[in-house]
């Protein structure tokens, strides 16, 4: 499922408000799943949730959704080396606190970040559309990235029913200063 040019432009405009900040760029140095960085994983999750929101007519606020998705793993360390064995339980709270500190996100965005690991975090249930889309998109992308580990494929929200468009045009556009073409995406 490809985004229309207008949808892609909206996604890029919303994402750049966060991805262009130097503190966010540090996520490129942390591995998330396989060879996928936390930066790229977060972009995948944001794009997946954005697509689901449009195609399923969920009507979640797009700005809140993209912010929450991009910042859902904004804990600023490599969980493979620094995190404890309960990283899955602890990192949503850490990411929400850092999102508030560095990006002054509203309560609804922080709440979505804090509940994105449900059902693992049993008592932190998503409470709005943004939070449910984030939780679902994170699971979809994590599975895809984990299954693609070591297969030398581009990882991302490429799953049955949503097409296999090749490199993510919108992700590439965010990563290449808004320039998108066949060569880079």
Query: How many other CB atoms are there within 10 angstroms of residue 65's CB atom?
Result: 26
Q: What is the pLDDT of residue 55?
A: 96
pLDDT at 157: 44
CA distance 94 to 74: 8
- Adjacent-strand bridge partners of 33: 36
Give the mean pLDDT per block of 10 residues along the chain (185 residues): 90 95 90 79 95 97 98 73 62 91 96 86 83 95 79 43 40 56 37
Provide the residue ranges of all domains of the chain, joining segments of one domain with +.
5-175
Q: Is the distance from CB of 137 to CB of 49 less than 8 angstroms?
A: yes
Instruction: Classify domain 5-175 by CATH architecture.
Output: Orthogonal Bundle (1.10)
Total-model pTM: 0.79
Q: Does the bond joining 43 to the residue before it have cis omega, within 30 degrees of 0? A: no
Contacts of 98 (CB under 8 A, 6+ apart): 71, 74, 75, 76
Answer whether 59's CB lies under 8 Å from 91's CB.
no
53: Cβ–Cβ under 8 A, 6 or more apart, which residues?
59, 60, 62, 65, 129, 133
The vertex-126 CA angle with 123 and 132, nearest 5°, equals 145
């Amino acid at each position: 499922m490809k985004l229309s040019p207008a949808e892609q432009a909206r996604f890029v405009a919303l994402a750049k408000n966060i991805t262009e900040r130097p503190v966010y760029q540090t996520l490129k140095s942390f591995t998330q799943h396989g060879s996928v960085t936390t930066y790229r994983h977060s972009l995948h999750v944001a794009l997946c949730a954005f697509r689901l929101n449009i195609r399923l007519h969920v009507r979640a606020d797009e700005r809140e959704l993209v912010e929450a998705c991009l910042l859902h793993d904004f804990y600023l360390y490599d969980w493979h080396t620094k995190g404890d064995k309960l990283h899955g339980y602890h990192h949503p709270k850490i990411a929400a606190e850092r999102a508030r500190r560095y990006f002054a996100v509203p309560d609804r965005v922080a709440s979505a970040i804090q509940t994105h690991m449900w059902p693992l975090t049993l008592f932190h249930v998503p409470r709005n559309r943004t939070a449910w889309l984030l939780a679902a998109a994170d699971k979809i992308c994590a599975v895809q990235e984990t299954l693609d580990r070591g297969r030398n494929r581009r990882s991302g929200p490429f799953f049955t029913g949503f097409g296999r468009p090749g490199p993510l045009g919108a992700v590439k556009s965010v990563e290449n200063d808004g320039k998108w073409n066949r060569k880079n995406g």
